[in-house]
Chain A
Amino acid sequence: MGSVDRQLLEPTKIEISDLVVKYETPGNGDTQAALSKTTLNVRDGEFVAIVGPSGCGKTTLLNCVAGLVRASSGFVRVDGKIVGGPGRDRGVVFQQYALFPWLSVIENVIFSLEMRGVPRTERANEARRYLDLVGLSGVEDVMPKALSGGMKQRVAIARAYAAEPSVLLMDEPFGALDVQAKERLQVALLRALQLNPRTVLFVTHDVEEAIFLSDRVVIMGANPGRIVSETPVELQKDRVVEDKLSEEFIALKSQISQELRVIETGKYESEAVRKNNVISQVKKMELN
């Protein structure tokens, strides 16, 4: 099935409409836009990756969908319902893992099941199912502090899954991992999504990761935070790490990297132009 057909068939899962987020700068009470009028629709079952330089508001956008940041204007709808706060229908995976350190691996997942109202007797078995989904077994009773970063993030993904959310929101989940662990986690995530499909909004600064995981890469720019462009990823669905070396993949990667570079240097260039103007003005004054 081509992407055009899919676009027609799949209903919208996440609807972000004219979303603006303003922050009050501490001290002088000025407001600054972290996100200027942003519109983005994510289809049911789609994996959308958001890339962009720091300060482009990609995390703010994600937090808005999570209900952790309030919109200044515009709205976010998930499954047709306006987002007014955090809720179990939107699972979040944080970069800092955010596992409860006083609970063992399985207890962390059980926490999520308990909040969902799963009967006590079924929790342990259910939890093991979710740990299995992310490729974790034999560490049920280990405390989080004894786990590697990659394993912690697997637990966090299992915990998010256990809430049976309608969408998964992932905020640079593999950003703190070394290259090998990162790659393993990417594959583990794709596998989990194959077994248990979800709509995913995934924030990252790693272009390769964005392409490898997603159906569509959204590129954001800073000052003010906004969506600059988006690129569909038309690679096969059933991806393996080797795909990263394919011609298609590399071409897409250089295209997106180039776009990001333009966004970054554009910022510097405009600064350079301003500086040049100042210098020429000063020179003029000196001449006079």
Chain B
Amino acid sequence: MSNTEKFLEVNRNQDSVPNTKITKQHNFRARGFAVIYRSMFIVSLLSGIVIWAALSVLLPKDVASPVSVSQALGTLMTNGTLPIDIAYSVVRVAVGFTVGLVLAIPVAFALNAVRGLRNLLDPWIQFFRVIPPIALIPLVIVFFGIGETAKVSVIFFAVFLTVLITTYQGIRMIDATLIRAARVLGTSGWRLFAKVIVPAAVPSIFTGARLGIASGWTTLVAAELIAASHGLGFMITQASQYFDLPAIYLGIITIGVIGFIFDRLLLRVERRMISWADVG
């Protein structure tokens, strides 16, 4: 073995294997933090309930107590109205969200690929972006009445625009060096699209989806407040007509909890699918 070869052998072994010690330590620390974070979540939840209880004692006319809200929960669960309202709301959002997402993604790619299309559509996207979807509800009622189509189309509108804008901007921000690296390896056309642009865009599609479902959910509840015969928004409107304070609080809390669950579910899918990216 020549001197050079010996040197190369030594050199080869130096940084060819990842430093397992550091990796393990890092995992250990990460796990430690995870435990703290999880317990923080419970602490935060409990203190929220304590503050709520205290407020209900201080302002009994305006704030329903946790106990009365639990009672309302029990009643509405047993007579079946709450599960039905939840089901109506969730199904509406699911349909509007799915259609909005499925249509927004290809449009976002097309806008990036075709400059003419971008110039053609950009003013309209910017225009509709500043209109809160709720403002369209009266118009939607004129078009579709107060049936399911009306609610679903408002959600679709909200989700579509949010996902489109987020994904479109995400695709635009794809690291140009990655595309150059692929091109010098002989990648072009649809292969460049399928093997580089699409995977590189996945994180921004997820960001778009999470923002989209939040926007769809808020819009839905607003739509149900105005025109519906079922759903969580309707439940709150009805409760307010009878001045059933615990039911109003229950409706609001349910909306928040379900929105939170939606977001966590998407985050979980995101973490699983794109573990390579730094997902927050």
Binding site for B on A (CB under 8 A): 66-68, 85-88, 90-92, 94, 96, 98-103, 111-112, 115-116, 135-139, 142-148, 150-151, 159, 163, 181, 184, 187-188, 191, 238-241
Q: For residue B181, which residues in chain A have a CB less than 8 angstroms away from its CB?
A: 92, 94, 98-100
Chain A CB within 8 A of B143 CB: no
Q: Are B14 and A96 in contact (CB under 8 A)?
A: no
Task: Report how far A92 CA is from B180 CA in the complex, Å.
Answer: 9
Task: Report how far A151 CA is from B12 CA in the complex, Å.
Answer: 11
Q: For residue B16, which residues in chain A have a CB less than 8 angstroms away from its CB?
A: 135-139, 151
Chain A CB within 8 A of B119 CB: no
Q: How many A-B residue pairs have CB under 8 A?
A: 104
Q: B184: which of A66, A103, A188 is its contact (CB, 8 Å)?
A: A66
Task: Report how far A87 CA is from B181 CA in the complex, Å.
Answer: 11
- Contact code string B94-123 (vs A, CB < 8 Å = 1, else 0): 000000000000000000000000000000
Q: Contacts A112-B185, A116-B186 hold; do A238 and B4 have CB atoms under 8 A apart?
A: yes
- Contact code string B121-147 (vs A, CB < 8 Å = 1, else 0): 000000000000000000000000000
Of A99, A100, A144, A163, the most chain B CB neighbours within 10 A belong to A100
Chain A CB within 8 A of B183 CB: yes
Of B178, B184, B274, the most chain A CB neighbours within 10 A belong to B184
Q: For residue A145, which residues in chain B have a CB less than 8 angstroms away from its CB?
A: 276, 278
Q: Are A143 and B276 in contact (CB under 8 A)?
A: yes
- Contact code string B265-280 (vs A, CB < 8 Å = 1, else 0): 0000000001111100
Between-chain CB contacts (< 8 Å), 25 pairs = A68-B183, A86-B183, A87-B184, A91-B184, A91-B185, A100-B200, A101-B276, A102-B200, A111-B182, A115-B185, A115-B186, A136-B16, A139-B17, A139-B18, A142-B18, A144-B276, A146-B23, A148-B15, A150-B15, A151-B16, A163-B186, A181-B15, A184-B14, A187-B8, A188-B11
